[in-house]
C-alpha cells in the first residue's frame, strides 16, 4: 500500500498520483484493481449515491458506513475520508472528537477538510494528534452557499494570491496533500510549485501532482450531466439500462429463466410429489 511518504516521493519524482472516489465495496474493488493510488471516500457520496442536492446533509455516520464498505473492497489502498459539513467548525474539542470517531470506527488512513481560515488550526491539531490530514482549496462544495454557486475560484489576482497563501498555510499545518478544485490551470501550476506537499487537482489542469475524479462521473453511472473537467471513460449507465431493459422484457415475455438458470429434481421425485 502506498502511503503519504510515497505520495511525497511521487511528487519529487514527477510521478502522477491518481486518486478516485469510491463509496462502497464494488467501486472500491474496481478502483484498487485498476491501480488507483489513493481512494477518497468523498462527501460527494451525498449527491452521487444518496441523491441529495448538496453535500450539506451528509453525516459522520454516513461517512463511517461508506468508508467501512470501501475498506473491505480495497484493503490494500490508502483511504482518505471527508469530514462532513460543520463537523470541524464548532470547536477544537468537537473537531477532535469527530475526527477520532471517524478514524477509529471507519479505519480511514487520513481525513480531508475543506478551506483555510479557522480550519488551519484544526488541521494542525489533528496532525499533532496523529491523524494525517488532506487539505482542500478552491471550489469547496461544503461552502457553496457562501461562494455563490459551483464556480471556478481564484480567477482574479486577489483571490489567486490568497489561494497561494492558504496552500502554504495548509502545508505548514502538516497537511500531507492538497486537493485543488476548479481553479485556473496556471494558478494550480503556481501552487504546485510553491509547496512541497503533493497537489491533487480536479478541474485544475495538468500541472498538479495528481488528479482526482468522482467514480460515477468517470464511468457515467447515475449522473445526468457532468462538469467540464470530467472525462467520461466508460458508460455504465447505458450498459446497465440495456441489460435491465432486457431482463424486464424477457421476464414479461416468458423468455427468462430458461432451464439453464433453473434447478431440477429427479423425475421419480416429481411423480411422488404430484401423486
Is the distance from CB of 122 to CB of 113 less than 8 angstroms? yes
User: In angstroms, rounded to a whole number, what is the distance separating the alpha carbons of residues 66 and 264?
Assistant: 40
In whole angstroms, the minimum distance from the beta carbon of 27 to ligand KIV comes to 12
Angle at 224 between CA 223 and CA 226, to 5 degrees: 75
In whole angstroms, the minimum distance from the beta carbon of 210 to ligand KIV comes to 11
Residue holding cell 491523524?
A: 131
Is the distance from CB of 44 to CB of 222 less than 8 angstroms? no
Q: Which stretch binds Na ion (CB under 5 A): 34-42, 61-69, 70-78, 196-204?
A: 34-42
User: In angstroms, rounded to a whole number, what is the distance separating the alpha carbons of residues 86 and 175?
Assistant: 19
42 binds Na ion (CB under 5 A): yes
Residue holding cell 471527508?
A: 82
Q: Which is nearer to ligand KIV, 149 or 268 (CB)?
A: 149
Residues 6+ apart with CB under 8 A from 153: 138, 139, 147, 159, 163, 181, 182, 183
**Which among Na ion, ligand KIV, none contacts residue 98 (Cβ within 5 to 8 A by kind)?**
none
Indicate if 165 belongs to the active site.
no
171 binds Na ion (CB under 5 A): no
DSSP-derived letter for residue 84 is P
Q: Which is nearer to Na ion, 230 or 256 (CB)?
A: 230
In whole angstroms, the minimum distance from the beta carbon of 124 to Na ion comes to 21
DSSP-derived letter for residue 39 is E
Site map 51..90 versus Na ion, x via CB under 5 A: -------------------------------x--------
> Which residue's beta carbon is nearest to the bound Na ion?
42
**Which among ligand KIV, Na ion, none contacts residue 69 (Cβ within 5 to 8 A by kind)?**
none
Residue 159 is assigned to a ligand binding site:
no
Residue 44 is assigned to a ligand binding site:
yes
Residues 6+ apart with CB under 8 A from 167: 135, 137, 178, 180, 191, 194, 195, 199
Q: Which residues bind ligand KIV (CB under 6 A)?
A: 21, 40, 42-44, 82, 179, 181, 202, 212, 214
Among 174, 33, 165, residue whose Cα is nearest residue 111? 174
43 binds Na ion (CB under 5 A): yes
From 181, 238, 245, 250, the catalytic residue:
181
N-to-C CA span, the chain: 63
In whole angstroms, the minimum distance from the beta carbon of 246 to Na ion comes to 36
Q: Which stretch binds Na ion (CB under 5 A): 43-51, 60-68, 169-177, 210-218?
A: 43-51
3-class state of residue 60 by DSSP: helix
Annotated binding site for 3-methyl-2-oxobutanoate: 43-44, 82, 112
Query: Active-site positions?
Result: 181
Annotated binding site for Mg(2+): 43, 82, 114
The site for Na ion (CB under 5 A) is made up of 42-43, 82
Amino acid at each position: 500500500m502506498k502511503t503519504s511518504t510515497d505520495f511525497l516521493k511521487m511528487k519529487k519524482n514527477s510521478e502522477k498520483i491518481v486518486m478516485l472516489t469510491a463509496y462502497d465495496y464494488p467501486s472500491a474493488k474496481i478502483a484498487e484493481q485498476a491501480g488507483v493510488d489513493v481512494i477518497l471516500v468523498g462527501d460527494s457520496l451525498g449527491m452521487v449515491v444518496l441523491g441529495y442536492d448538496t453535500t450539506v446533509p451528509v453525516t459522520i455516520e454516513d461517512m463511517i458506513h461508506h468508508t467501512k464498505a470501501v475498506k473491505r473492497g480495497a484493503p490494500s489502498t490508502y483511504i482518505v475520508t471527508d469530514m462532513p459539513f460543520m463537523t470541524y467548525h464548532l470547536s477544537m474539542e468537537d473537531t477532535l472528537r469527530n475526527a477520532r470517531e471517524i478514524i477509529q470506527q471507519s479505519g480511514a488512513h487520513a481525513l480531508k477538510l475543506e478551506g483555510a481560515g479557522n480550519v488551519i488550526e484544526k488541521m494542525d491539531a489533528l496532525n499533532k494528534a496523529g491523524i494525517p490530514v488532506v487539505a482542500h482549496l478552491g471550489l469547496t462544495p461544503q461552502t457553496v452557499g457562501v461562494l455563490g454557486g459551483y464556480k471556478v475560484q481564484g480567477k482574479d489576482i486577489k483571490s489567486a494570491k490568497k489561494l497561494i497563501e492558504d496552500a502554504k498555510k495548509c502545508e505548514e499545518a502538516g497537511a500531507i496533500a492538497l486537493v485543488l478544485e476548479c481553479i485556473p490551470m496556471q494558478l494550480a501550476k503556481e501552487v504546485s510549485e510553491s509547496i512541497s506537499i503533493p497537489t491533487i487537482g480536479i478541474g485544475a489542469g495538468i500541472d498538479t501532482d495528481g488528479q482526482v475524479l468522482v467514480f460515477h462521473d468517470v464511468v457515467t453511472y447515475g449522473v445526468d450531466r457532468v462538469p467540464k473537467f470530467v472525462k467520461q471513460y466508460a458508460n455504465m449507465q447505458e450498459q446497465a439500462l440495456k441489460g435491465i431493459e432486457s431482463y424486464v422484457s424477457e421476464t414479461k415475455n416468458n423468455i427468462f429463466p430458461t432451464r439453464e438458470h433453473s434447478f431440477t429434481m429427479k423425475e421419480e421425485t416429481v411423480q411422488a410429489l404430484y401423486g
